[in-house]
Chain A
Amino acid sequence: MEPTLSPQSLGRPGLLSDLRAFGAVIRREWIIFTRYPSWIIALIIWPLIFPMLYILTARALSGPDGSGLTVFIQTTGATDYIGYIIVGTTVWMWQNIVLWDVGFALRNEQMRGTLESNWLSPTWKFSYLLGHTGPQIVSMAMFIIITAVEFGLLFGVRIHGSGWMLILVMLAAIPAIYGLGFAFASLVITVKEANAFVFLIRGLVMIFCGITFPVAILPGWMQAFSKWLPQTYLIHAMRAAAFTNAGLQELMPDLIPLLSFGVFWLVAGYSTFLWMERRARQTGAIGQY
């Protein structure tokens, strides 16, 4: 009698192997991140350059006697116009960086030539994207801390509210901001050149979410549209937590929609990823440049 040989794969997918793949992606991204230390220069310069555009505009609009500033303070309720602007511009930069970093994670790996071979391995595919997010959150936290330190030292901006509430609001925003990044990453791998989509999404945040002005001064239809963007709630809640000492109770009207958007975008991001994975298997899109 001849012995039967059943073909077996060397890969044995399970929770542990998925975790190992996830850890390996985090480690790889961290090595790449620290291998090119020139990002430190960008980390120091960018938090200053973009907000300065609006801070200098605000100074010009205030006039030599500061009469315009009195109107701005009455309109916004903000006592520190620099702090008011920094919160909005930081949220914009956060979303912008996530779209370029997480959104283009798979595409960059494809261009590097490693995506297709990794994709063929019996690993949890979503870990390629999720693993990229860990080092990105660390670098983004550094970006926000450097922003706070620079504007504290150079412009005397101080947080009058609760730092813990500010952190809580930012943590609540992570699912919405990164969920959008996940959905975006799958879209990018499908359409290849997606710079226009980044410009569109960050443009919507710039116009509708009130990064440098209160949403209340927008026309009615624009205010209605702004309610569908999580960044509107994030900016409002961050300003309230940082400068008006708002507690959990006061922040709830912003936190609830922020978390709801988070659930929506995480589900949308994961679903888009699964759709892209299926499509890639059928059309060979992973190997197409």
Chain B
Amino acid sequence: MELTTLSQPNFSTQLRALFVIARKDWKVFWRYPLNAVSNVFQPIIWITPVYFMGKAFSTNGQALGFAQ
């Protein structure tokens, strides 16, 4: 007897699997809204120290060394 599988993989099923995984990850991401909100602040957190560091290298607001 020839064994057959019920699943019939093709391009459409692959796309469906891709979509389902993306949907699951999207749900998990928004399940913890604080994590999502914190992503908004990440650029500020990483850039602010560089801004103040730049000030420590500047005279009257001019970073002359960097300008060269």
Q: Which residues of A contact B (CB under 8 A)?
A: 54, 57-58, 60-69, 71-72, 75-76, 193, 195-197, 199-200, 203, 206-207, 211-214, 217-218
Contact = CB atoms under 8 A, between A and B. Distances in A.
Given A68-B63, A68-B65, A213 B37 contact: no
Contacts of A57: 50, 53
B45 interface: yes
A206 B49 contact: yes
A217 B52 CA distance: 7
Contact of B55 (A54, A200, A203, A217): A217
Given A193-B32, A195-B35, A207-B45, A61 B52 contact: no
B35 A71 contact: no
Interface in B53-68: 53-59, 63-68
Nearest to B59: A71
B4 interface: no
Contact of A61 (B42, B45, B66): B66
B65 A71 contact: yes
- Give the size category of B's interface with A: 20 to 34
Nearest to A200: B38
Question: Which 3 A-B residue pairs are closest in the complex by CB-CB distance?
Answer: A68-B65, A63-B65, A203-B45
Given A65-B65, A71-B58, A196-B35, A58 B53 contact: yes
A214 B56 contact: yes
Interface string B25-54: 000000010110110011001101110111
A240 B38 CA distance: 34
A199 B36 CA distance: 12
Given A71-B58, A72-B57, A75-B56, A60 B66 contact: yes
Given A57-B53, A58-B57, A61-B63, 10 more contacts: A54-B50, A60-B66, A61-B65, A61-B66, A63-B68, A66-B65, A69-B57, A71-B57, A196-B35, A213-B53
A57 B66 CA distance: 10
A64 B68 contact: yes
A65 B57 CA distance: 13
Contacts of A211: 49
24 contacts: A54-B49, A54-B50, A57-B53, A60-B66, A63-B66, A67-B64, A69-B57, A71-B59, A75-B56, A75-B57, A193-B32, A196-B38, A197-B34, A200-B38, A200-B41, A203-B41, A206-B49, A207-B48, A207-B52, A212-B52, A212-B56, A213-B53, A213-B56, A217-B55
Contacts of B66: 60-61, 63, 68
A68 B45 CA distance: 24
Contacts of B42: 199
A203 B39 CA distance: 12
A76 B32 CA distance: 41
Contact of B64 (A68, A200, A207, A217): A68
A195 B57 CA distance: 33
B41 A199 contact: yes
